[in-house]
Amino acid sequence: MNNSSLIPEKVPELWFTDADVVFQAGSKLFRVHRSILSARSTIFNDMFSVPHPDSDRIVDADGSYTHIHLPDDAIDVHHFFLAIFDASYFEPPPSDQPTSVVVSILRLAHKYDVVFLKRRAVAHLNVLFPTEWDGLWKLMIENDHTTAADNLSLLELAPAIEIPWVLPAVHFLLATTSINLIFNLEAWNLLEASIQRNCLIKRENCMSELAVSSRWIWSHTTAPSCLSVGTCTNILGLIQKMSGIWKVVSDIPSVFCKKCSKTTQAKCYTSGAQVWDGLPKLIGLGSWEDLNSAKKSFDN
């Protein structure tokens, strides 16, 4: 159903009865304080300084307010406004934040020039998409990395915001993601054709390098002290047949015995590190030195 045909719905936690402006995004309504938005955002400050073509003056039981339509996604606006009006909602690292929330807030913090939120969101991305192999490896084996949809969104957002150092991790994760899954995501369909094309080229390059560095899989055997030879041998055969050790790397502890899991993860770690070292150049981003320098400059 088209959002335009839905009855607008108030968002309770972002409906302040003493506030003087109501934003509508999709079918969601947010009644908030323009003074706070003006103080946080130069864009909103400018918006309130001149008559807005998509605004109406409305009077209800709680007083008068200005009604403004926003072109942004309602979910993005929800997270963005909560981050502004609820100080506990989006705290800086080391607090954990879902990547989808970080991306939503970053997208609108950049668009509406809310500097403190932009910097906080980037700080979270630095944790979620590290520039050190040990950091990404830890996230991968703990199955604590981001979703493919989040990664695809960053293909467009990261260059726009000039945070290229998150992209090696993004491309590495996409290279280990099923192409069928990628093609079936709405986030893929929303990307421009040029971004899709570049993504596929870089994904293929990453996969080729991973295939070369992971040739050990063809001669890999169960550990000498394997605790379940039959099961581990069968699983290893399936992985060799599908040539997909990197697509199941986070599942290694659950499909192999403890001994085989340890030896297999060790080989994955080493072969992944080989690709990681040259990944920035492989995807056209220069060197790790360049990326870490840009990251340091942003932090300062």
Amino acid making up residue 71 = P
The pLDDT tens digits for 17-63 are 999 999 999 999 999 999 999 999 999 999 888 765 655 655 454 55
What pLDDT does 61 receive?
Answer: 46
Q: Which residues pair with 21 in a beta bridge?
A: 32, 66
Class of domain 3-72: alpha beta
Rounded to the nearest 5 degrees, what angle is found at the Cα of 242, between the Cα atoms of 241 and 245? Answer: 110
In 3D space, the residue among 104, 102, 106, 113 whose CA is nearest the CA of residue 39 turns out to be 113
What pLDDT does 1 receive?
Answer: 42
Amino acid making up residue 82 = L
What pLDDT does 163 receive?
Answer: 98
Amino acid making up residue 145 = H
Token digits of residue 116: 């403190």
Q: Which residues of the chain are modeled with pLDDT < 50?
A: 1-2, 59, 61
232-238's contacts with Cβ under 8 Å and 24+ in sequence apart are 232/256, 232/257, 232/260, 236/260
The pLDDT tens digits for 171-201 are 999 999 999 999 999 999 999 999 999 999 9
Task: Name the residue ranges covered by the structural domains of the chain.
Answer: 3-72, 130-300
What pLDDT does 63 receive?
Answer: 57
Rounded to the nearest 5 degrees, what angle is found at the Cα of 169, between the Cα atoms of 92 and 275? Answer: 145
What pLDDT does 216 receive?
Answer: 94
